[in-house]
Structure 1
Amino acid sequence: MNHLQRRMGTFSLTMVGLGSIIGSGWLFGAWRAAQIAGPAAIISWIIGMIVILFIGLSYSELGSMFPEAGGMVKYTQYSHGSFLGFIAAWANWIAIVSVIPVEAVASVQYMSSWPWEWAKWTSSLVKNGTLTLPGLGIASVLLLIYFLLNYWTVSLFSKANSLITIFKIVIPGLTIGSLLFAGFHSGNFTSGEGIAPNGWASVLTAVATSGIVFAFNGFQSPINMAGEAKNPGRSIPLAVVGSILIATVIYILLQVAFIGAVDPSMVVHGWSHLNFNSPFADLAIALSINWLVIVLYADAFVSPSGTGITYTATTSRMIYGMEKNKYLPGVLGKLHPIYGVPRQAMFFNLAVSFIFLFLFRGWGVLAEIISVATLISYITGPVTAMTLRRTGKELYRPLHLKGLSIIAPLGFIFASLTLYWARWPLTGQVLFIIMMGLPIYFYYQAKLKWKGFQKNFLAGLWMVTYLLCMMVISYLGSEKFGGINVIRYGWDMLIITCLSLVFYVWAVKSGFKTEYLKEATKVNEEMRLRERTINSQLDKEKAV
């Protein structure tokens, strides 16, 4: 029997989370957020952190209970059965696997604006914000590098990622310090139409579409790598919360430095006219910080590549988990007998990454799609955590989150509001993302002769109804969020808040003690025994 190797400690898992969060998001996020929300983009990052923290806390309890590879695609199946489990897993996988090519795109986009005489040829890599054929060629090579660094062993991945993540923290720090001291214009924060020149609705839209949700999405990585954690009960919550908080500090400081470093003449006509090919590098050039220019162009490969490497690892564990859920062919669930790595799943994800790379060649477009798909899977986390408090009372919980009865519904509401803030028609793409995967689910249900289909379908019916309601409200909602203004600004968010509570109650009550939960109990019991062994060893060491 194959087993994933448990070699990763708290530090490595935190580096995995931080390495996933600080990818191309830091290179482009501050610019996109400022373009949408102006100086108030700082508030957008704080709101984004609050939303993700509430979601992440729910998943931390789940991850510590079930330390499995690709756990994020399994938990909902334990609480609500296969139908809702598939929807959540499919949306989550789509969101995560598409991050791999978007990181490669980010590196090439920065490369296209190299200022040196010998590098003029790089300007042909990107045109009108999309990669050309030469650009696609270089991005393809980067995807192969990400793949090969994960091909042999998780320990090689862990060591490489920890080193890369440390580098990724140092470079943003140098950027923040350099921009603050070299050319900080405090008047940028209040000039023109004030701190929120595009209105406060734009501050909310920036949370969903500027890359903030996309950036924080990396908190999932420690959870998906839980099957390789030495002490998951302790490491997972620390890694999830720690990586979110550290990243928040970095992103807010980056946003402050970016807004202050922009030449006031560039925003005379508004922040929405602020255009850069490589935002921080362009600012460094304008301020004549030549050494920082070189460092930033180097980091434009390191930061996105670190995230690409991390997601290549985590997505293979997600496919491994989906196969164990009977959603995908058995060959994708095989582990290498020596290295303990799901290689067939890695090859599958590599092929899908190439498809995304060639279909969506721009960073902004992919970041928006990823954010919307991610929010669907976020919605199920709080529901699953609270449902299992009812249907799995006997389960061992290394992390028993106090106040979950408040944290979970707030997390559900926050995720719903963020989905709405993404604006119509982007929110309408949610249904299309789900529809792409449903034929696969129904195919495998037919192979299982529709065993238990009705019960599983009814348990997930709330999600289908919820998504349809969200799309209708998004279409009829305020013009500030892309709607036709039938539901006015303010009332739209009140309606979503109330409706979210109704769906949350329905969702929690629709859960049941599934057959999958009975199987998961074995993993949970292994967790209990493992913690007893670790505690026993610690007691012996203290006694000595």
Structure 2
Amino acid sequence: MSAPAAESLDAPERRADRRRLSAPALFFLAAGGVIGSGWTLGGLLADQGAGSWAVFSWLIGGGLMLVIASVMVILSTVAPKTGGLIFLPLQASGPVLATVVAAGLWVFYAINPASEAVAMTRALSGWTQARGVIPAHGNGLTGTGLGWAVALMLAVTAVNLLGPRLFLVVNGVLTVFKILVPVLIVLLLLYAELHPSGRAIHVSAAPAPLPTASVASSGASSSSGHNDLATVLTTVTANGVIYAYLGFQGPLDFAGSVRRSGRGEAARMRRAVYGTVCGSILLYVALQLVVVYLRHHTGSAQTPYTDFAQTVAPSWAAHPMSILINLDQVLSPAGAAMVFTYVLTREVAALSRAHLTHRGLQMSRYSVIAVRGARLRRLVGERLDVYWLILIVDFVISTVALLCMDGNWIVLGSITTVLALVVYVTPSVVLAALGRGARRDTVRRRHRVLAEAAFVSIAVIFLLAGWDRLWPGMTALTVGCVLLFGMPKWADGRRWYDARLHAPQLLRLRGEHANSARSAWLLYGFFGVITLVSLLNEFVWPTHLAVRLATAVPVAALAAVVFRALVDLSEQYMAVHPPTLPEPMRARDAADGAAIHGLEPALPAQSSPSSETALPSQPAQASG
């Protein structure tokens, strides 16, 4: 075949590849999800928990996130699939375990916009001096404040109706601004150290974004004098540190829709995720040093960043900097909520395609909006692939969570953190199981060791969160599981709900899907046992933080046993139900490189369907 003919045949694939996510889009998804209300509130909460030692809490939390991210990146390159956080557990461990993971992920992603809306509401009330938004006593919002928060969540949902093309542009511009302002604050700290102003930092009379009294007791306080290792570790989960790092998995939710040409999918994925995690570690540690500076010069770490900027910045820059900081304290949570809302639609669509929830959620008539008007079509295309029905369902879930928690940022953030840790353990199990079976030639032994280390580390950090944080999160997981398993039973025979196949399998510990049911019960029971251990720590010896470290040793040993049992069950399940997996990214990159150089790529050892080749937002028509 002549070169022009080959090029013409390759043109459609090249055009489709250009519609995939580029390296900047991947990075902005990851960084946009991470840089939210965590940097505006996390430093103050961490200081209340561990004082100056909170710097080590950020380092430990960031190290844990780096280990988890490494496992998830490896899995995404081994089996790249959009919606993979649900699809891959389904393939490796079966529908019952996948439904438990889906319940945790759905609630985790849906509650995050509620917590970010609370942070936006608090920031707006402090900036505009609005009254009647934050109660004089208490940790939540007043009725007026809840109304503000619901309106802000509605605005976030509306932005997602712009379509993927405009959304990615808006998110990219917003993320650049979100990163720039915290970096400027850190640069002001360096300026203050080199050019001390000699002025006392003015403490604003406006309410702080999160009053000290609103922090639930975690057994750690910077004023108690117990700034030891136990306090530092407790602060990692109990004072917003882990919460601030959540969101890096955005590119992994689109692993099947990464641009291939040039540097290749795997390189783009690694750079986006690792760059975000490592950059956020440096940024959060530096911001914690700003909080330490504030406490050293004012005797309190509750001084807002705006007061810091007005005092230490040059006179010509003080006012503009305070405006930028106030604006970013609203836009950062808004951007993170936008990203979580965006990626959740793709995960729920994957759940719907797998028939683990209503199949209609991802059908074309509920996920496509026809565009009218020539000008608008030139801007956004012929149609908007926005999964609008899923957006409505997620908005309802977020609103219910917001109202049930009375706008309490601490509780909402705790639920998000706990559910994230539950969801984050499953990639470790899937990676190790695939390394024994379907991807034995791709997954190395060091990858399986890393997966086990991530699983055990998550279990220990989960325990150290404490009972006050764990029981709301486990309750939310239980409610999600009851709904996903119970709806098919309750709606049996009704046309509006058609996912009926997986619910009866939960109680079938023998038979075709027995291993999946056992895996689900084992995973849920394991975190339930850790929650009960945290209850004992809370009521039997609540004042001895070091006991939590001692308790963590048997929990770590139990985690290693449970991890290997889950891997064995997944391997047995895949022996009966061979997984249908996309080809690894390395094979794609090698094939693309061979095509570029005019060579015939080698045939893969095991043929399997490739992952999505369409635009990541392209909804699939439900079968049946």
Normalising by structure 1, what TM-score? 0.86
Q: Does structure 2 conserve the Cα–Cα contact (< 8 Å) formed by 1:385 and 1:408? A: yes
Tell me, in whole angstroms, the C-alpha distance in 2 between the residues paired with 1:377 and 1:328: 18
Structure 1 residue corresponding to 2:393, chosen from 328, 348, 361: 348
Report the equivalent of 1:69. 82
Tell me, in whole angstroms, the C-alpha distance in 1 between the residues paired with 2:114 and 2:360: 24
Higher alpha-carbon deviation: 151-160 or 333-342: 333-342
Report the equivalent of 1:474. 534
Change (3 A) 1:178 1:402: farther
Q: Is 1:504 aligned to residue 563 of structure 2?
A: yes
Tell me, in whole angstroms, the C-alpha distance in 1 between the residues paired with 2:72 and 2:421: 14
What's the secondary structure of 1:218's corresponding residue?
coil
Report the equivalent of 2:243. 214
Tell me, in whole angstroms, the C-alpha distance in 2 between the residues paired with 1:506 and 1:353: 35
Structure 2 residue corresponding to 1:534, chosen from 592, 601, 604: 592
Report the equivalent of 2:132. 124
What's the secondary structure of 2:299's corresponding residue?
helix
Give the counterpart letter for 1:371 in structure 2.
T
Structure 1 residue corresponding to 2:485, chosen from 441, 458, 465: 441
Report the equivalent of 1:56. 69
Change (3 A) 1:316 1:259: same
Structure 1 residue corresponding to 2:55, chosen from 42, 45, 48: 42
Report the equivalent of 1:253. 286
Give the counterpart letter for 2:277 in structure 1.
I
Q: What is the Cα deviation at residue 196 of structure 1?
A: 6.9
Measured against aligned partners, the alpha-carbon deviations of 1:70-103 in whole angstroms (never above 9, x if no partner) come to 2212222222111221112211221121111211
Q: What is the Cα deviation at residue 265 of structure 1?
A: 4.8
Q: Does structure 2 conserve the Cα–Cα contact (< 8 Å) formed by 1:6 and 1:229? A: no
Higher alpha-carbon deviation: 35-44 or 66-75: 66-75
Q: Does structure 2 conserve the Cα–Cα contact (< 8 Å) formed by 1:7 and 1:155? A: no
Q: Is 1:457 aligned to residue 492 of structure 2?
A: no
Higher alpha-carbon deviation: 240-249 or 130-139: 130-139
Report the equivalent of 2:37. 24
Q: What is the Cα deviation at residue 453 of structure 1?
A: 4.1
Report the equivalent of 2:376. none
Tell me, in whole angstroms, the C-alpha distance in 1 between the residues paired with 2:444 and 2:325: 40
Q: What is the Cα deviation at residue 40 of structure 1?
A: 0.7
Report the equivalent of 2:118. 105
What's the secondary structure of 1:67's corresponding residue?
coil
Tell me, in whole angstroms, the C-alpha distance in 1 between the residues paired with 2:17 and 2:422: 28
Change (3 A) 1:195 1:246: farther
Report the equivalent of 2:463. 420
Q: What is the Cα deviation at residue 9 of structure 1?
A: 1.0
Tell me, in whole angstroms, the C-alpha distance in 2 between the residues paired with 1:254 and 1:87: 36
Give the counterpart letter for 2:501 in structure 1.
L
Q: What is the Cα deviation at residue 286 of structure 1?
A: 6.1
Give the counterpart letter for 2:144 in structure 1.
P
What's the secondary structure of 2:244's corresponding residue?
helix
Tell me, in whole angstroms, the C-alpha distance in 1 between the residues paired with 2:557 and 2:575: 33
Q: What is the Cα deviation at residue 212 of structure 1?
A: 1.5
Aligned-residue CA RMSD (Å): 3.1
Q: What is the Cα deviation at residue 538 of structure 1?
A: 3.8
Structure 2 residue corresponding to 1:406, chosen from 428, 446, 449: 449
Report the equivalent of 2:8. none
Q: Does structure 2 conserve the Cα–Cα contact (< 8 Å) formed by 1:478 and 1:492? A: no
Report the equivalent of 2:431. 385
Give the counterpart letter for 1:448 in structure 2.
L
What's the secondary structure of 1:316's corresponding residue?
helix
Change (3 A) 1:152 1:290: closer
Give the counterpart letter for 1:382 in structure 2.
S
Report the equivalent of 1:365. 411
Q: Does structure 1 conserve the Cα–Cα contact (< 8 Å) formed by 2:515 and 2:569? A: no
Measured against aligned partners, the alpha-carbon deviations of 1:512-531 in whole angstroms (never above 9, x if no partner) come to 3449975632x337x67754
Q: Does structure 2 conserve the Cα–Cα contact (< 8 Å) formed by 1:208 and 1:422? A: yes
Give the counterpart letter for 1:496 in structure 2.
V
Q: What is the Cα deviation at residue 6 of structure 1?
A: 4.5
Report the equivalent of 2:147. 137
Q: Does structure 2 conserve the Cα–Cα contact (< 8 Å) formed by 1:332 and 1:345? A: yes
Q: Does structure 1 conserve the Cα–Cα contact (< 8 Å) formed by 2:27 and 2:251? A: yes
Higher alpha-carbon deviation: 141-150 or 194-203: 194-203
Change (3 A) 1:539 1:479: farther
Tell me, in whole angstroms, the C-alpha distance in 1 between the residues paired with 2:385 and 2:80: 16
Tell me, in whole angstroms, the C-alpha distance in 2 between the residues paired with 1:402 and 1:50: 21
Q: Does structure 2 conserve the Cα–Cα contact (< 8 Å) formed by 1:168 and 1:303? A: yes
Q: Does structure 2 conserve the Cα–Cα contact (< 8 Å) formed by 1:14 and 1:240? A: yes
Report the equivalent of 1:225. 254
Q: What is the Cα deviation at residue 11 of structure 1?
A: 1.8
Measured against aligned partners, the alpha-carbon deviations of 1:346-379 in whole angstroms (never above 9, x if no partner) come to 1211221222222220222211121111111112
Tell me, in whole angstroms, the C-alpha distance in 2 between the residues paired with 1:193 and 1:17: 32
Q: Does structure 1 conserve the Cα–Cα contact (< 8 Å) formed by 2:37 and 2:116? A: yes
Higher alpha-carbon deviation: 149-158 or 247-256: 149-158
Structure number with higher helix proportion: 1
Measured against aligned partners, the alpha-carbon deviations of 1:147-166 in whole angstroms (never above 9, x if no partner) come to 22221421211111111111
Change (3 A) 1:193 1:78: closer
Change (3 A) 1:431 1:28: closer
Tell me, in whole angstroms, the C-alpha distance in 1 between the residues paired with 2:411 and 2:289: 25
Q: Does structure 2 conserve the Cα–Cα contact (< 8 Å) formed by 1:10 and 1:235? A: yes
Give the counterpart letter for 2:388 in structure 1.
R
What's the secondary structure of 1:230's corresponding residue?
coil
Q: Is 1:174 aligned to residue 207 of structure 2?
A: no
Measured against aligned partners, the alpha-carbon deviations of 1:187-209 in whole angstroms (never above 9, x if no partner) come to xxxxx989975433221111102
In our comparison, the structure showing a higher alpha carbon Rg is 2
Give the counterpart letter for 1:476 in structure 2.
L
Higher alpha-carbon deviation: 93-102 or 334-343: 334-343
What's the secondary structure of 1:124's corresponding residue?
coil
Q: What is the Cα deviation at residue 247 of structure 1?
A: 0.9
Q: What is the Cα deviation at residue 67 of structure 1?
A: 3.2
Report the equivalent of 1:299. 328
Higher alpha-carbon deviation: 254-263 or 431-440: 431-440
Query: Which runs of 5 or more residues in structure 2 are unaligned?
Result: 1-15, 198-220, 369-382, 493-499, 506-511, 600-624
Provide the aligned length of Structure 1 versus Structure 2. 514
Tell me, in whole angstroms, the C-alpha distance in 2 between the residues paired with 1:307 and 1:356: 17
Give the counterpart letter for 2:40 in structure 1.
L
Q: Is 1:281 aligned to residue 336 of structure 2?
A: no
Change (3 A) 1:379 1:333: same
What's the secondary structure of 2:580's corresponding residue?
helix
Tell me, in whole angstroms, the C-alpha distance in 2 between the residues paired with 1:26 and 1:401: 36
Measured against aligned partners, the alpha-carbon deviations of 1:142-185 in whole angstroms (never above 9, x if no partner) come to 22222222214212111111111111111001111223433779
Structure 2 residue corresponding to 1:432, chosen from 475, 478, 482: 475
What's the secondary structure of 1:509's corresponding residue?
helix
Change (3 A) 1:287 1:211: same
